Structure 1
Amino acid sequence: MDVVTLGETMVLFTPEISGYMRYAGNFSTKVAGAESNLAIGLARLGHNSSWVSRLGDDEFGKKILSFIRGEGVDVSRVSYSPSASTGLYFKEMITDDEVRVQYYRKDSAASRMKPSDLHETHIKNAKYLHLTGITPALSESCYETVMKAIEIATSSGVTVVFDPNLRRKLWPEDHAQEVLLEIAAKADIVLPGLDEGQFLFGDLDAETTARHFFEHGPSLVVLKLGAEGAYYYSDKEQGRVAGFPVHRVVDPVGAGDGFAAGLLSGLLDSLSLEKAVERAAAVGALVTMVKGDVEGLPDRSRLNAFIEGKHREGVNR
């Protein structure tokens, strides 16, 4: 297995009209979750990925499992909970530039994950373990599950990748800061956004923010800068990769998960660090062009054409 990831996936409801959700009469439903987004992104690029979670034993849970399995992701370590429901959330598209999200996930099936749900061999056989800061925020048992997964991976030489993916509504800020820094210190690769860096370290520039993360323990920090691209920092090299021009951002949600999928894809393909970060930025940009968290995730041919197009543009200027 190339990558194992762990976390909650929910059914997403999106109004069919823009503006305040109170005026919406019809909704479309899709499947979305940071970790499964990443797993699907990797599968589309030809890698083996596995998503581990709990779902409610309900129609929404069955919808999620069927969808993710259909995208080529291994779901053999997903279990159903007969006494808890699958989480839901709503994406309010007020304008193209203003998107609000409302979650209904309290006491969901995924929030009841516990360390005994993990299969040690499954994690030990992976090249990367991917985690986000969302999962430990769901419950104390989820926090314990994340820490156990890290312990298993670290003891087996599996590279631990951590995306802080801050969700302020899920937990008190002081507790969030403590746990996010704790996990960052145990991870090998950390993929924060600049806003998460500001949350943890204050309003600093990209290089200083990346260095602060690096000093906590990871061997590589890749700081996501949105349209500006990304800044990477390790003990061997540091640098900035420019973002890919996007004519119109349709939906920014899920771009960070696409970025993570692109980076891991590049590392799995043994690209240079700079080229792996470039691939990450390309996938993130492509995600923003399409409505939905996973609908814009590219296959390899589309990704390569997008990257080559940027390079041709640069040569012609």
Structure 2
Amino acid sequence: MTAPDLLTVGEALVSLRSAGPLAAGGPLTMHLAGAESNVAVGVARLGHRAAWAGRVGADEFGEYVLRQLRAEGVAVDGVSRDPDRPTGLMFLERRTADLTRVQYHRAGSAGSALDVEDLRAPLTAGARMLHLTGITPALSDTARAATRWAAEAAAGAGIPVCLDVNHRARLWSRAAAREALTPLAGYASIVIASTDELDLVGDPGADESTVVAELFRRGVDTVLVKLGADGARAHARDGVRHTGALTVTAVDTVGAGDAFTAGYLSGWFDGLDLAGRLRRAATLGAFAVSSPGDWEGLPRRAELSLLDGHEAGSVIR
């Protein structure tokens, strides 16, 4: 079997979405969710080989997760089915037009029981890039150890590691995140963080340039700082480059950061220069925020130019 371009590791969940307050009742729609699987789908849609490794329950929700990933062309050969633990769930309620609230039901889930043995075979198969996030090590001690092992094993095998800090305050404290993620970043070639996450891979209170300089000293090649509606800033060893966000009508910001990462990694696989990688990252981010769902609106390769010079309300005939 051909090794994938991208291997992602983490927990994929079933997301149950409500258009209004959960307490008021009403219909829920079922979706695949999970930062790492979002990135895998985004990369696969652009024609790259992507694989996701993790655990799901031996239940209908686990089967749904696997079916959705297979349908998007993401390989799931390395996924373990856990007969004793359920697939994780999350509930999203659109509380107002500008605010979505999330509730997790993932304590004791199959994904939280991830361990090193779940990842040996997928890592042995190889990949051009390993993508990790700061979510997985927050799930349990075994998941934290597995994430660290995967990063160390990949780096030792010459596989570049991409680490998206992706802090989830409901899963762990900033102090606990910093303790785990600062050493993890030392295995990465690419580190991605929002401005308020950078101190989780560096000294508390240090400014951006200081954290970046320390990451470079530890072997990181590129640091991407997500700026939301202001775009992103990329620190490379030969300088800093900024890209603005595309102007679109935002309808759902969930998954925008994962889309940005997928776009950047796709550009890396295609051999684009830093400016080209950032443009593609911004393009996927724009598709994500202007479409409902975590990943459903992400483009195929033939659609990458759809937003070039577009105007609000455009119709392609």
State TM-score, norm by structure 1.
0.91
Q: Deviations over 1:210-244 (max 9, x none)?
A: 44544554111011111111101121231111111
What does 1:117-196 correspond to in 2, within 5 Å? 117-120=118-121, 122-123=123-124, 125-196=126-197
* Greater helix fraction, Structure 1 or Structure 2: 1
Q: Does 1:108 align with 2:109?
A: yes
For the 8 Å contact 1:124–1:153, the answer to whether it is kept is no
What per-residue deviation string (whole Å, max 9, x for no partner) do you get for residues 134-188 of structure 1?
Answer: 0011011001111111122111110000001101111232111111211112211
Hey, what does 1:227 align to over in structure 2? 229
Identity of aligned residues (%): 41
**Paired position in structure 1 for 2:309:** 309
Task: Name the structure 2 match of 1:271.
Answer: 272
Q: 1:285 to 1:245 in 2, by over 3 A?
A: same
- Which residue of structure 1 lines up, in the alignment, with residue 314 of structure 2? none
What is the CA deviation profile of residues 28-77 of structure 1, one whole-angstrom value per residue up to 9, with x for unaligned ones?
11111100000000010000000001000111001111111111000000
Match in the other structure for 1:39 = 40
Q: Which 5+ residue runs of structure 2 have no aligned equivalent? A: 312-317
CA distance in 1, matches of 2:10, 2:71: 18
Structure 1, unaligned runs of 5 or more: 312-317
Q: Distance in 2 between matches of 1:211 and 1:144?
A: 27
Corresponding letter in the other structure for 1:309: G
- Check conservation: 1:115, 1:148, Cα contact below 8 A: yes
Give the residue type in structure 1 aligned to 2:7.
Answer: V
CA separation of 1:215 and 1:192: change in aligned 2, threshold 3 A: farther
Q: TM (normalized to structure 2)?
A: 0.91
The CA RMSD measured in Å over matched residues stands at: 2.0
Aligned residues: 307
**1:9 maps to 2:12:** yes
Give the match for residue 240 of structure 1. Answer: 242
Q: Name the CA distance, whole Å, in 2 between partners of 1:168 and 1:93.
A: 19
Please tell me whether the aligned partners of residues 78 and 122 of structure 2 are also in contact (alpha carbons under 8 angstroms): no
Name the CA distance, whole Å, in 1 between partners of 2:119 and 2:90. Answer: 26
Query: For structure 1, which segment, 200-209 or 31-40, has the greater mean C-alpha deviation from structure 2 after superposition?
Result: 200-209
1-structure distance, mates of 2:215, 2:23: 41
User: What is aligned with 1:292?
Assistant: 293
1:66-103 alpha-carbon deviations (Å, 9 max, x no partner): 11111100000011000000000011111221111110
Which residue identity lines up with residue 224 of structure 2 in the other structure? Answer: V
Contact 1:52 1:78 in 2 (8 A): yes
8 Å contact kept, 1:241–1:278: yes
Cα deviation, 1:263-296, whole Å, max 9, x if unaligned, reads: 0000110101111011101101110111110112
> Which stretch shows the higher mean deviation, 264-273 or 236-245?
236-245
Aligned runs of 1:45-60 on 2, under 5 Å? 45-60=46-61
